[in-house]
A and B are shown apart, each in its own frame.
Chain A
């Protein structure tokens, strides 16, 4: 297990190198000097620009430039944002907590909804309630997330006035106070519900099918024969076995949340990583763009790896070597 994990982790390195080369080439293909925001955009004298270009190494051969960039990158030097004139690292760090909060809340919502619906469906398969849940899930799966988000804003934020429609916190509340945290939760809830509802369907159907399958197994018959209440059989004996495979979904969710966050954050104008990414594309803020592309690629890779490893952890029958 440990050996497998280490080998997979090492296997990520060539992948990351390849991605970094792709990102570097893409940045070089874009118009303008893309690696740094060091050149003062207000000073347009050709001598100044030529001097700065020489100093920053833009006249070096490409492999040397790549090597310099990647060395800096590994040490946490992501360059300086051309738009904000502050280090990209600080810029990203400023937005990370927001995205993290959104992602975690979305996951919690996914799990709660999937558990309630999945356990109901699994216990009463092929009934009206089960079919209704299946139908609901099918529609949720088909509606594109951005359409769902637009409808959610229209209905819950504008018509019913339950949630704010933009931002991550009220401007008026004082940072650190109790109201501040309430306001943050209030702002994150609607985007998180939309983001979380996307993956609820697959979780629910998986849990349902697993519960139905487990309810036909011998250990359930034994428990029944001994007179264990049905409720206890379902809530303790079966659920404990059916939860385990769900854990593996976590890894894939990681990658899905990244893609989902870009869309959801933009629609809800929620200041997180996804929104920063799109803004850096529109404003041609290349250092930020490159750092974020690398970061998001790394997270996707990491999520896939996590899923593979979790498979082996939760189900010892799967041999990983």
Chain B
């Protein structure tokens, strides 16, 4: 199988998954207690019966369920995710305006957690059983057990409130009028705390995995072969152990992408980061189901894109995949 057919296959699978989620969304709307029209309108703002009636007609809510399903899915396929009556704009536009902030946050968080996690994992495995290994493993164990949002709050408390080193709120300094590099620097400062606290848990996950994987691979026969060749310890670790040990970490990183995006809801809530996670939180408070389901769909799409990317990385790293004759 060539890379192209793999990607094609993955895209087809992705389309099916998204379609299924759209169908799931549809049934969720109907599972919500109360009139679907009221659900779509948002509870509080739906007092006006005339408005409800209009909605009912617009969404064809009087028609049989399967017809409704069809029109709903058709809408989703044309990127019509409905209208947020709360925010007074189409859900698609709403999400599109918030997405860049979330992408910035999750991607930087992913890169930080993966690189630091692997680095610490390698370091711990190289010193297995020694004090520095115990320290790193204990820290990983702690971060692994720390609630994301609590770590975020404590970081705000320490680095923003107590020490005043970094801003603990928002995406950029409001009304500062920065442009160009100054603005980028400002955003970067705002980014550090959210990205670090979101990445903390995942860093622990990657570190534990890397360490375990390094130790496991170092027991393998080909490592003994490498030693029998007269290679030095560092060369063996880098060329033979690390490359093989990273394979399961790549797989895990792909699987964890979904968690990262879920975690963004919490982090963005704490830091008032204007991304889709924060949007979801605001919509929860406002019971704006249309927006909630829209964010849900988009986050699933993000995970799928991410999984395809990890698949491609995996195929590049491991010659065995897809090359089997």
Task: Tell whether A and B belong to one assembly.
Answer: no
**Interface residues of B, Cβ cutoff 8 Å to A:** none
